[in-house]
């Protein structure tokens, strides 16, 4: 499929040297971990019950959708693209899932497959149009944002579908005291990072993002890489949709409104460049966690809404500024 598989000696020359071996990756994560721990400590001091099992269990129950979508978005940003349609694709996937179960009485595994297929299809169309006409993904995925939202409303007839116990099992199940969706999200993050760091495909993704022209000259099939990245992002967005539907026990036509910006913010907090060529899935996950802890903490404080928004905005910018200094420190010894 890909020109040059891992361990293939005759493959194309090694593309940009990869910096992030495991220890280096650990160092990269330290800064974000500090921000996260800092936030937890602050909220722990400010509120009475923040340090409780419930708080952390609830955060674990709430992040899977954002964490999974952030994996796909990280890949998209690394190839210097953007996907504005993830929120709508999430909603469309959820709508298909909900309607399949409630109206068509399809067994759950089949309904989930249909949901994922729809996400994959939306992502593939995004990729195909972007590649075929060499269009900016910004505008292509903006189109998909509208199309998928319209399709969602059509499928659901603009009404929230209550799915109930058929789908709740997924979010209620626990594995090692952790909600199953959270475990699934961790696996997706780990898998995404492994693919990015250790496979030829992962390195091609970084190469395309660094310089498309160089990558092409080095023998990378640029359109194929892009297409797959967008398809992956669509697929993961619909998987996030499964998580939301199972959590709310219902499919909502307005689900995921503004989700794309939330996801992009988390990924950028994680230090992935909007210019492409640089990024880490694990760090995106920390970005998601920072936003989740912040949301949960502010809700526990009962902060008034305008204040909530101001604080959230400031923390996002502060995290990115901190990352700038971390990078400068990181570069100095090299």
What lies within 8 Å, CB to CB, of 214 at 6+ separation is: 207
Q: Are 174 and 180 in contact (CB under 8 A)?
A: yes
By the rule CB under 8 A, 85 interacts with another protein: no
Binding mask 291-310 for another protein (x = CB under 8 A): ----xxxxxxxx-xxx----
Q: What token pair was written down for 153? A: 């409303």
By the rule CB under 8 A, 211 interacts with another protein: no
By the rule CB under 8 A, 218 interacts with another protein: no
Which of these ranges, 26-34, 191-199, 202-210, 290-298, lies near another protein under the rule CB under 8 A?
A: 290-298
- Count of alpha carbons within 13 Å of 64, Cβ hemisphere only? 27
- For another protein (CB under 8 A), the number of binding residues is 46
User: In angstroms, rounded to a whole number, what is the distance separating the alpha carbons of residues 236 and 73?
Assistant: 9
Residues 229-258 that bind another protein (CB under 8 A): 244, 247-250, 252-257
By the rule CB under 8 A, 104 interacts with another protein: no
User: In angstroms, rounded to a whole number, what is the distance separating the alpha carbons of residues 333 and 161?
Assistant: 56
Closest to 279 (Cα-Cα) out of 331, 323, 332, 224: 323
Cα dihedral across residues 24, 324, 197, 36: positive or negative: positive
Closest to 225 (Cα-Cα) out of 8, 10, 12, 50: 12
By the rule CB under 8 A, 108 interacts with another protein: no
By the rule CB under 8 A, 52 interacts with another protein: yes
Which of these ranges, 204-212, 221-229, 266-274, 289-297, lies near another protein under the rule CB under 8 A?
A: 289-297
Binding mask 11-50 for another protein (x = CB under 8 A): ------------------------------------xxxx
Answer for which of 3, 57, 224, 327 binds another protein (CB under 8 A) is 57
**Which residues of the shown chain bind another protein in the complex (CB under 8 A)?**
47-50, 52, 54-55, 57-58, 61-62, 149, 153, 157-162, 164, 168, 171-172, 179, 244, 247-250, 252-257, 295-302, 304-306
């Amino acid at each position: 499929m890909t020109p040059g598989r891992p361990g293939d000696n005759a493959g194309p020359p090694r593309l940009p040297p990869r910096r992030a071996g495991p220890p280096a990756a650990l160092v990269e994560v330290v800064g974000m971990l500090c921000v996260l721990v800092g936030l937890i400590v602050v909220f722990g001091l400010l509120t009475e019950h923040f340090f409780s099992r419930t708080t952390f269990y609830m955060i674990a129950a709430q992040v899977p959708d954002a964490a999974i979508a952030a994996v796909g978005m990280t890949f998209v940003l690394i190839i210097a693209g953007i996907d504005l349609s993830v929120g709508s694709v999430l909603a469309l996937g959820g709508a298909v899932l909900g309607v399949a179960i409630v109206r068509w009485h399809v067994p759950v595994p089949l309904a989930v497959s249909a949901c994922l297929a729809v996400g994959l299809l939306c992502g593939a169309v995004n990729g195909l149009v972007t590649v075929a006409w060499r269009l900016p993904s910004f505008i292509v995925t903006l189109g998909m944002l509208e199309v998928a939202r319209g399709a969602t409303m059509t499928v659901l007839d603009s009404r929230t579908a209550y799915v109930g116990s058929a789908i709740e099992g997924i979010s209620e199940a626990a594995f090692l005291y952790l909600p199953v969706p959270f475990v699934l999200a961790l696996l997706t993050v780990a898998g995404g990072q492994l693919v990015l760091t250790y496979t030829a495909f992962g390195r091609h993704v970084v190469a395309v993002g660094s310089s498309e022209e160089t990558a092409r000259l080095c023998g990378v099939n640029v359109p194929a890489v892009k297409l797959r990245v967008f398809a992956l992002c669509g697929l993961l967005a619909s998987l996030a949709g499964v998580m939301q539907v199972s959590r709310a026990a219902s499919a909502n036509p307005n689900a995921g409104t503004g989700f794309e910006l939330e996801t992009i913010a988390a990924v950028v907090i994680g230090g992935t460049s909007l210019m492409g060529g640089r990024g880490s899935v694990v760090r995106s996950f920390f970005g998601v966690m920072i936003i989740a802890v912040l949301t949960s903490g502010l809700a526990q404080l009962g902060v008034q809404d305008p204040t909530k928004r101001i604080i959230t905005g400031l923390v996002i910018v502060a995290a990115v500024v901190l990352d700038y200094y971390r990078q400068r420190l990181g570069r100095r010894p090299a």
